[in-house]
Amino acid sequence: MNIQQTIDTLKELGFTEYEARIYLALLRAHPSNGNTIATLSGVPTPKVYETLRKMQEREVVFAVAGGDKGNQVRYSPLPYDELLTRTKRAFLGNVSYLQDALTEYASMSDTNWTELFVIHGYSAAMEAVRSAVAESKTDIIMSLWSRELSALSDVLGDAHERGVSIVTLTFDEPPAVPWRNFRHHDAKLIRLRHEGELNLVLDKEKAIVFQSSHERPHAVVSRHPVTIKTTLNYIRHDIYVNRIVADFGEVMIQRYGPGLDGLINDF
């Protein structure tokens, strides 16, 4: 039998080191007086009576008078089976209480709170995008550059294979992909405005906005409905405009110039 392990287990049930030692000593020999308890338990005699008093208050030790020593006070432990039953009952009662209390606390939470955090660094941000794509279930819509599209081709390919609907818009010439991809109109001012940009909405539940061209690349990840809707509409509208440019390019170039500067520089 590992005595120290037994003591440590009793300590997990709320006993102190001295209390655990005294309780085990009384299980071995009871009723016992203070000197005998000190000898059996190894607890210093000055600490025995102080500890016994606290244990009596908790009703895990009881004073017994009389016997062949007359009125000398001796001590007996609460039977261990009763101790375990009491401990089990208290534990289950606490679990039941916490079940109700924590449920109530959770119901009081701010239901408008949503996940929102910033990831710093290109590699860390790209890993967050990869993980999000890998966990996607229904649909992905994103605008990005071919460099990031190539880096994500494996996880996007896996998502496509498992039936996730994917739509992408690339700001430069993209690699061949099996899902719908739209090519952004190419112009110097457009390239400058979209430099380092990646926008992503997954399952209409999470948005990631990634800017990699700054000195400190960073991404913002959000589950807030406003962020999701705004990012989704931004990508959609970019696709709409670029489809119009692709379909009616000659007319628009005549009206706004080769780089569409007359349109883009309006504001």
251 with 172, same domain: the answer is yes
Which pLDDT value is given to residue 258?
78
Provide the percentage of residues in the chain whose pLDDT is more than 70: 93
Q: Which CATH number characterizes residue 200's domain?
A: 3.30.870.10
51 with 129, same domain: the answer is no
122 with 41, same domain: the answer is no
pLDDT digits 0-9 by tens, 149-182: 999 999 999 999 999 999 999 999 988 999 999 9
Q: Which CATH number characterizes residue 50's domain?
A: 1.10.10.10
Enclosing domain of residue 64: 3-79+87-106
Mean pLDDT of the chain: 88
Which pLDDT value is given to residue 148?
95
196 with 228, same domain: the answer is yes
What's the total number of domains in the chain? 2
pLDDT digits 0-9 by tens, 237-256: 999 999 998 899 889 888 88
3-state secondary structure 173-188: CCCCCCCEEEECCCCH
Q: Answer yes or no: is pLDDT of 111 > 80.
A: no
pLDDT digits 0-9 by tens, 194-250: 999 999 999 999 999 999 876 789 999 999 999 999 999 999 999 999 999 889 988
Which pLDDT value is given to residue 108?
63
Residue 235 C-alpha from the chain's centroid: 29
pLDDT digits 0-9 by tens, 62-76: 988 655 555 678 899
Tell me the pTM. Answer: 0.57
Burial (Cβ within 10 Å: 0-12, 13-18, ≥19) of residue 155: middle
